[in-house]
Amino acid sequence: MVAVAIVVAFPTNRRGTVEHVFGKTSRGRMIRVGPGCFRRFRIEKSVGRSPSGQRSLFLATWNGGPHTVDGMTEIDVPQVADPEIARLVRAEVEYRWPEDASDLDEVVRYGLVPFGKMMGPWLLIRSGLAVGGELAPMLPAAVAVECVQVGAMMHDDIVDEDAERRSKSAAYETFGHPTAIVGGDGLFFQGFAALSDCGRAGVPESRVARGLDVLARTGLRIGDAAVKEIRMGRTVCSTATYRDMIKDKSGALLWMACGLGATLSGADEESLDALHNYSNFLGIGYQIRDDLMAYDGTRAGKPNTSDIRNGRPTLPVLLAHRRASRNEKLLIEEILADTTSPVEQRYEAMRDLVRAHGAVDSAREMSRRYARMAARALEALPPGEHRDALEELTATGRLV
């Protein structure tokens, strides 16, 4: 059991005080989180009001695991985001896309709320602060990164036919394919619009222009990696080919955040290079860890069968193929190419092969090796608490 810190919101009455939504118990307060469903939370402190003034925000802890209350984002503090950054980004999203949003804004909000790990906004803000930037002018850019990354995930779910995202129905399941496609497009454009707002928040226009260039070129890099992955599908490739693909997929997503934060904060070339290497190495390590979750029983929010259903040759599969006997190699290739057998049956067969050849442990060690390389890349940044926070993300049990 771990202590989870979350921000919860409750409606306020006309006098601006919290309505009667708490039921006191001897060990804390009970909060209704659904029909007939209550959780005991400890209310730590008030952290302000929502931009609309209609909700009061509280920092609360719950010993029992992650949970989302009233659409507010969970913040697993030891995992990625810290409560203050999460609260500020959340307030920015609430201001831009309120609960009564309709049409395109409704689809955009559906993708954004509840938040996931908030890794993009966190990396952007920490990277900017690490090179001497200020937090407030970067907030629109933090929202921009979240928009672009969620838009990419919305489209990924359609391509991969994954029916769940962040433990709820994927957007295409809720709104249909056409609306979800347009919603993903809308999130991309909302990202550019949010980034342009940094100029009004005090960032010099020349830096905003360079930031827009980072966002656009990184998006193209991610798109190129997606096409490579689609064309690579259902065949075995080399581990080097796989590594290059995920560097331009997950590494680019992290660079979008780190590069934007540093660029908007006026980082020098040495710092930009350091963060570029950091994001590439950490992105590779993170993607390997994500691929591994299908085989070590730790995946959440997405089915274990997704990669097998889509014939995706992830690192654990490639390592098992490299070590397998001739007949086992043929079996792995057949499983990847198969589109008719029950997916659970294909997954279980591949899982047994991956585990039999020690690919789980080998992939995990590779993930950690890239994390160590990411940590070393940060040595070129000025020492301080924000560099330390970025380095902490490379520790075992965080992202890798």
For residue 229, what pLDDT is reported? 87
Instruction: List C-alpha distances in Å: 359 to 37, 239, 263, 346.
Output: 41, 13, 39, 17
For residue 303, what pLDDT is reported? 77
| Cβ contact 305:343 at 8 Å | yes
Task: Per-residue pLDDT tens, the chain, 400 aa: give them.
Answer: 333 334 444 433 333 333 323 333 333 444 433 333 334 455 555 555 444 444 455 555 544 333 333 333 333 333 455 777 888 888 888 889 988 888 999 999 999 988 777 889 999 999 999 999 999 999 999 999 999 999 999 999 998 888 888 878 999 999 999 999 999 999 999 999 999 999 999 999 999 999 999 999 999 999 999 898 888 878 999 999 999 999 999 999 999 999 999 999 999 999 999 999 999 999 999 999 999 999 987 765 567 898 999 898 999 999 999 999 999 999 999 999 999 999 999 999 999 999 999 999 999 999 999 999 999 999 999 999 999 999 999 997 777 7
pLDDT for 234-254, tens place per residue?
Answer: 899 999 999 999 999 999 999
**Residue carrying the six token digits 């006997």:** 325
Distance CA 292, CA 160 (A): 18
Distance CA 55, CA 127 (A): 31
Sequence spans of domains, the chain? 1-76, 103-400
For residue 79, what pLDDT is reported? 43
Smallest CA-to-CA distance from 174 within 184, 182, 163, 185 is with 163
Neighbours of 100 (CB within 10 A): 9
Distance CA 194, CA 381 (A): 27
CA 307 from centroid of its chain's CA atoms? 18
Q: What is the dihedral angle through the alpha carbons of 145, 151, 152, 156, rounded to the nearest 10 degrees? A: 150
Q: pTM for the whole thing?
A: 0.77
Q: Are strands 28-34 and 37-49 parallel, antiparallel or unpaired?
A: antiparallel
- 103-400: what fold? Farnesyl Diphosphate Synthase (1.10.600)
**Sign of the four-CA dihedral 343, 344, 347, 349:** negative
pLDDT for 339-364, tens place per residue?
Answer: 999 999 999 999 999 999 999 999 99
For residue 81, what pLDDT is reported? 58
Q: Where are the alpha helices (DSSP H) in the chain?
A: 83-96, 104-112, 119-130, 139-160, 171-175, 177-196, 205-232, 239-246, 252-264, 269-296, 306-309, 315-323, 326-337, 343-356, 359-377, 385-392
